[in-house]
Amino acid sequence: MGEYLVEMKGITKTFPGTKALDQVDLKLKAGEIHALLGENGAGKSTMMNILTGQIPMDAGDIYIDGKLAKISAPKDAFSQNIVLVPQELNLILEASIAENIFLGNEQTKGRLIDWKATQEEAKRLLKLLDVELDVTQKAGKLSAAYQQLVSIARALAYNPRLLILDEPTAVLTNREAESLFASMHRLQKQGTAMVFITHHLDEVMREADCMTIMRDGKLVRVADVKDITKDEIINAMAGRTVEKAAHIARTVSEEILFQANHLSRDSEFQDVSFDIKKGEVLCVAGLVGSGRTEIFKTVFGITEKEPGGKTYFEGNEVNIRSPRDAIALGMGYVSEERRHDGITPGMSVLENMLLPTFHKIKKKGFIDFKQASVLADDFIHKFKIKTPSHETLIRNLSGGNQQKVIVARWIAKGVKMLILDEPTRGIDVNAKVEIHKLIHELAQQDVAVVVISSEMEEVLELADRIMVIHQGKISGFVEDVDLATEESILKIAFNS
């Protein structure tokens, strides 16, 4: 057996218009947790898709156990026990948890599916992750965090020698992430190698052994964790120094823009009352599954509230029964699930950005595409959206740039209140800084911004006020954000 479990050499891949990978090497030892770092679009996912046989490479070699391996289809990767846990949740929501875990890898007795073994094995695999669930319930019933854990359990069913985790902690709370890391270290002791893709550098410094840093499709640096500092990593990823914004205390107007009284929705959240002032950044903290997403889906009219709850906008009682009603009042909403309900992949950047604004830029009944192009180019420039042109289909952009387009959508529309659910999840450092800047700018212009986030750092940096949700109820507000810490927020959540 060679020194390395997996060795990728000189991997090159060109997509129409872009060189996604240029002579990239990646060397993985058995039993190590290897962080793969880089901004969105740096080529991390492409690299992993090649290793798992999902896309072919143009040039390069892959060695496994020192022997040249031919990986040209996903099944080649499986037969080498290389398994990827994708970032985007990828479960069949109508099927049971156990079924999802063994999808494509069914436990059989003869030619029939052995349901008993399936369920028992599913339970065992989840236990490895420190999770106990009724595996016969539908996957769709689970929160995003648990769905992520089910995806990981699915990968474990293949007895991976190399496990690739793409942003595994993006939807997890700290506690859930901790137990995931504990399971990762357990796997590590058994000799499993892991590639860990993440944007949380703290996690890398704490949990990984070494790292490969990529930028613009090229290898930038390979280092052991102990030999590098966080700032060095950031600079290597960005190719320049990233400014870290500190929390700025602001004075917010006293004028209440939106108010909710006693909102409830069965089994999602109960008796929620809060208000948002003009120009305020209200961050909503809480564990995934606490009901924070659901509350604001109801506020925006995507789901209906129970009778009894009342909402007020600019002092008038309003009954928001659909997103249209909310938009008419001047609200905007960016969902946490970008692919599911954020973008229309087959449409251009321009159309995705201006879809709600088309009504306003008409000339004689027809959309004025000249004006639309000017407007779109303006935002592309202002928000540094990386795209060849506004005609490019949005699905060809990286996640961070897609997100910028969607945020720009509401700014172009001109909103008084903007709800952002996990606006920076899975987004690289620079894009994140830019989105944070945008949020501040909006607040300066008197827009009320709601930011729902799992990332405490983000909450503490952005918020004028923090609303803490726990188990479908508001467990408290933090008025003085400067004095708040991650621990104090968690205390509020759990002490209610």
Partner 1 sequence: MNKVLNITKSTPGMVFIVTLLAGLIVHLLTGNFYTLFNISMITRAASFIIIVGFAQTLVLLTGGIDLSVASIGSLSAMVSAMLMVEQGITPIIALPLSCMLGFLLGAVNGFFIAYLRITPFIVTLAIGEIYRGIVFVVTRGMPITGVPEEAVALASGIIGGFLPHMVIIMGIICVILTIMLKKTVFGRHIYAVGGNRHCAKIVGVKTERVELMVYCLSGFLAATAGVLMTCRLSSFQATIGSNWVMPSVTAAVLGGTSMIGGVGGVIGTVIGGLLSGVIANSITLLRVSSYWETIVTGGVVITAVLIDVLKGNKAISDKIKRIFVRK
Footprint of partner 1 (CB under 8 A): 54-56, 72-73, 300, 302, 322-324, 327-328, 333, 335, 340-347, 351, 355-356, 358-359, 362, 365-367, 369, 409
User: Least distance in Å: CB of 327 to partner 1?
Assistant: 4
Q: Looking up tokens 């909102």, which residue turns up?
A: 263
Residue 241 near residue 248 (C-beta atoms within 8 A): no
Please identify, using beta-carbon distances, which residue of 185 and 340 lies nearer to partner 1.
Answer: 340
Please identify, using beta-carbon distances, which residue of 13 and 34 lies nearer to partner 1.
Answer: 13
User: Least distance in Å: CB of 260 to partner 1?
Assistant: 19
Please identify, using beta-carbon distances, which residue of 37 and 407 lies nearer to partner 1.
Answer: 407
User: Least distance in Å: CB of 78 to partner 1?
Assistant: 16
DSSP 221-290: EEEEGGG--HHHHHHHHHSSPPPPPPP------S-EEEEEEEEEETTTEEEEEEEEETT-EEEEEE-TTS
Residue 29 near residue 73 (C-beta atoms within 8 A): no
Q: How is residue 163 written in tokens?
A: 């496990």
Element (H, E) at 450: strand 448-452
Phi, psi of 106 (to 5 degrees): -65, 140
Please identify, using beta-carbon distances, which residue of 53 and 168 lies nearer to partner 1.
Answer: 53
Please identify, using beta-carbon distances, which residue of 63 and 358 lies nearer to partner 1.
Answer: 358
Q: How many CB atoms lie within 10 A of CB 200?
A: 17
What residues contact residue 469 under an 8 Å CB cut-off, 6+ apart? 269, 284, 285, 286, 290, 291, 292, 295, 475, 493
User: Least distance in Å: CB of 285 to partner 1?
Assistant: 23
Please identify, using beta-carbon distances, which residue of 77 and 429 lies nearer to partner 1.
Answer: 77
What residues contact residue 392 under an 8 Å CB cut-off, 6+ apart? 348, 349
User: Least distance in Å: CB of 265 to partner 1?
Assistant: 18
User: Least distance in Å: CB of 107 to partner 1?
Assistant: 28
| Distance of alpha carbon 92 from alpha carbon 102, whole angstroms | 11
Please identify, using beta-carbon distances, which residue of 354 and 456 lies nearer to partner 1.
Answer: 354
User: Least distance in Å: CB of 115 to partner 1?
Assistant: 30
Element (H, E) at 468: strand 465-470
Give strand pairing partners of 213: 37, 221
Please identify, using beta-carbon distances, which residue of 373 and 471 lies nearer to partner 1.
Answer: 373
User: Least distance in Å: CB of 76 to partner 1?
Assistant: 13
User: Least distance in Å: CB of 385 to partner 1?
Assistant: 18
| Measured torsion, CA atoms of residues 322, 323, 326, 330, in degrees rounded to the nearest 10 | -160
Element (H, E) at 341: helix 338-341
| Distance of alpha carbon 340 from alpha carbon 350, whole angstroms | 19
Please identify, using beta-carbon distances, which residue of 405 and 451 lies nearer to partner 1.
Answer: 405
Please identify, using beta-carbon distances, which residue of 17 and 365 lies nearer to partner 1.
Answer: 365
User: Least distance in Å: CB of 328 to partner 1?
Assistant: 8
Instruction: Write the burial class of residue 485 (CB in 10 Å: 0-12 exposed, 13-18 middle, 19+ buried).
Output: exposed
Q: How is residue 63 written in tokens?
A: 């060695």
What residues contact residue 232 under an 8 Å CB cut-off, 6+ apart? none
Coil, strand or helix: which one is 74? helix
Helix (H), strand (E), coil (C) string for 143-203: CHHHHHHHHHHHHHCCCCCEEEEECCCCCCCHHHHHHHHHHHHHHHHCCCEEEEECCCHHH
Please identify, using beta-carbon distances, which residue of 255 and 341 lies nearer to partner 1.
Answer: 341
User: Least distance in Å: CB of 1 to partner 1?
Assistant: 30
User: Least distance in Å: CB of 420 to partner 1?
Assistant: 13
Please identify, using beta-carbon distances, which residue of 258 and 333 lies nearer to partner 1.
Answer: 333
